[in-house]
Amino acid sequence: MDTELQELAGRAPDRPLESLEADIWVRLGRHERAMHASRRLLVLQAAVLLFTLVGSLVVGRELARQQAPGSLAVFSEQMPLAPAATSRTHP
């Protein structure tokens, strides 16, 4: 690896180095803007998910409240039995 580094040091640069630092800062700026946009998008997605979950819980809770008394009626003793349960196939 040392010999390869020495070979590279001995060669002339294949790109102009005058604008190297400016190019690096431009790339870093683009990267920072992209990361900032990604963070904003992530926060927006998390907020939408939170509102959706809360809305689903509220709607589900209201539906459960409205249907709770009627939904347990199938376990009542006054509920008629199904025809298959009253057939006399068993002795």
Q: Decide if pLDDT at 34 tops 80.
A: yes
Confidence class of residue 57 from pLDDT cuts 50, 70 and 90? very high
**DSSP states of 19-81:** THHHHHHHHHHHHHHHHHHHHHHHHHHHHHHHHHHHHHHHHHHHHHHHHHHHHTGGGSTTSPP
Q: What pLDDT, on a 0 to 100 scale, did the predictor assign at position 62?
A: 87
Size of the chain in residues: 91
